[in-house]
Amino acid sequence: MARTLVMTARCSISRLLIGLLACLTVVSTVASARDYQLPSIGQPADAYMSPAEEDKIGRQVVAQLLERSLIIEDVQLREYLTSIGTRLAEHTSSDASAFRFYPIDSSQINAFALPGGYIGINAGLVTETETESELAGVVGHEMAHVTQRHIARQIEATSGMGWATAAAILVAAIAGGGDPDAISAAVTAGVSNLGQQQTNYTRAHEFEADRIGIRTLAAADFNPDGMASFFEKMQRRSRLYGNQLPEILLSHPVSNTRMAEAESRAKDYPSPSVRESDAYPLMRERARVLMSRQLGELVRYYEQRRADADDGQPNAAIDYGYALALSRIGRNAEAAQILAPYVEQNPDSKAFTLALADAYSQAGDTGRARDMLEAARRQFPRSPAVKLDYARLLVDGSDPEAARAFLLQDRDLLGQSSEAQQMLAQVAGQQNNLGEAYYRQAKYYELRGAFAPAINQLRTALQTAELNAFDKARLRALLDQMVRACHSAWSERECREQVTADARY
């Protein structure tokens, strides 16, 4: 059992989160099962974990990741990852709305699928890929874990471990910050009933996810070799790591048999019609900049890359990353000078347009930034990134009423974006509208799954703020709604504990 716990600590969130599937994998498969027979798709997973229970676990974990700033809250990068997932989902048995994609603030090369269709892609994985098909291959693999109900099926294999226990393992691992002792304690308490049970389901699940993912890649006009080529590259690089394997090889073990089968399946699609997005190389550099902790070193990295160009020709992706890095250290005029020609040459590029508008805004040229964003709104009317950048410019540009009117007319954005709610709270505060400010800040917390601070804030507002009768009734109704939502998302006991703990700070 000690060996099991050590292995679990390695695979469970050693620096972030690999995911429940990986954790349950190592907990329940210490031995040497050799049978790679794939389980049938029609297993009665609902008998052990319903879709609603899976979604509950996923929402709990995402809330914890947000609370600990482990998700990169960049709308543009998330929008791009969602576009890949949506394209793949069109060729699966599930609707695109069944999945949610999150960029994870980690340089580790990994990705994970949570119950309920919540998929995390580490920024380090994005930057390590060389083609969009490689990135899509990993995303498609994780989506297959979701569509095939692998987590519920793994719980079935582990004597019906309940969803509450599964959630406790994940949340405790996150709360432990990756500390092996905290993870081991959580696992010991949660899976003590497993004993020395051995199962080969996990390896079978990996094969199944490969098979379905490759088929989906080809159907979505990505290169079906993308998945196999990326895992093969990681396997080759592992020889350089020694005992420090890339995280993705710990959570997705790659064997010669698995690689051979993946390559063979890719050959079933001999003449793929490959379509890759022009946004991919730009978003890869965006991920590199967003996860960087050493901006000075990052600027020097880009300067060296630009100097090393063999043909002396500009590289759009490298220049984009360089401009983003310059903006982050306050050199916005230089960033704008780099970006402006690319916007002129690529008028349909949302990434270049938003980067240049931001550089202008940060440099104080808000008039030019506003003109660009108003044009972008017409060009990309459905883009949350464009909408939020425009609203942010209005808020920062001392036009709060325009920002408020713009945000309130977009119900879809308000229902999905915590940032939009927070901007409305900021605007209400500027206008000294306390009732509205408290309401919107509570909605901000709600969209992040942070019910405890929402409840405490509303209680404080009702007890101390000078509110009119309408605002009091509105906030009381929202408080009741938040309490019910908290009980539903966790349990009444856990909700009370979280509210009490939050009130101490």
DSSP state letter for 22: H
How far is 457 from 503, CA to CA, in rounded Å?
9
How far is 241 from 236, CA to CA, in rounded Å?
10
What's the whole-number average pLDDT of the chain?
82
Give residue-wise pLDDT tens across range 182-200.
Answer: 444 444 444 433 333 333 4
The predicted model gives 422-443 an average pLDDT of 96
Q: Is 101 helix (H, G, I), strand (E, B) or coil?
A: strand
Q: What is the pLDDT of residue 114?
A: 84
- 275 pLDDT above the threshold of 80: yes
How far is 11 from 14, CA to CA, in rounded Å?
6
Q: What is the pLDDT of residue 75?
A: 98
Count of other CB atoms within 10 angstroms of residue 280: 19
Q: What is the pLDDT of residue 237?
A: 72
3-state secondary structure 135-198: HHHHHHHHHHHHHCCHHHHHHHHCCCCCHHHHHHHHHHHHHCCCCHHHHHHHHHHHCHHHCCCC
Give residue-wise pLDDT tens across range 377-413.
Answer: 999 999 999 999 999 999 988 788 999 999 999 999 9
Q: What is the pLDDT of residue 189?
A: 44
The predicted model gives 279-287 an average pLDDT of 98
CB neighbour list of residue 35: distance below 8 Å, 6 or more residues apart? 200, 204
Q: Which residues pair with 103 in a beta bridge?
A: 121
- 246 pLDDT above the threshold of 60: yes
Q: What is the pLDDT of residue 324?
A: 98
- 425 pLDDT above the threshold of 80: yes
Give residue-wise pLDDT tens across range 451-460.
Answer: 999 999 999 9
Q: Is 119 helix (H, G, I), strand (E, B) or coil?
A: strand
Highest mean pLDDT among 44-53, 166-175, 304-313: 304-313
How far is 495 from 296, CA to CA, in rounded Å?
43
Q: What is the pLDDT of residue 171?
A: 57
Question: 371 falls in which pLDDT band (50, 70, 90)?
Answer: very high
Give residue-wise pLDDT tens across range 5-22.
Answer: 333 333 433 333 333 444
- 488 pLDDT above the threshold of 70: yes
Q: What is the pLDDT of residue 406?
A: 97
Query: Which one has a higher pLDDT value, 228 or 23?
Result: 228
Q: What is the pLDDT of residue 392?
A: 96
Could you state, in order of their start, the residue ranges of all structural domains in the chain?
2-32+43-266, 292-397, 399-505
Give residue-wise pLDDT tens across range 102-152.
Answer: 999 989 888 888 889 999 999 999 999 999 999 999 999 999 988 887 776
- Provide the residue type at 89 as one letter: A
- 251 pLDDT above the threshold of 80: no
Query: Which one has a higher pLDDT value, 263 or 492?
Result: 492
Q: What is the pLDDT of residue 314?
A: 85
CATH 1.25.40.10 fits 292-397, yes or no: yes
Contact 4, 26 (CB under 8 A): yes
- 46 pLDDT above the threshold of 60: no
The predicted model gives 65-69 an average pLDDT of 89
- pTM of the model as a whole: 0.85
CB neighbour list of residue 193: distance below 8 Å, 6 or more residues apart? 159, 161
Question: 168 falls in which pLDDT band (50, 70, 90)?
Answer: low
The predicted model gives 220-232 an average pLDDT of 89
Contact 461, 421 (CB under 8 A): no
Q: What is the pLDDT of residue 331?
A: 98
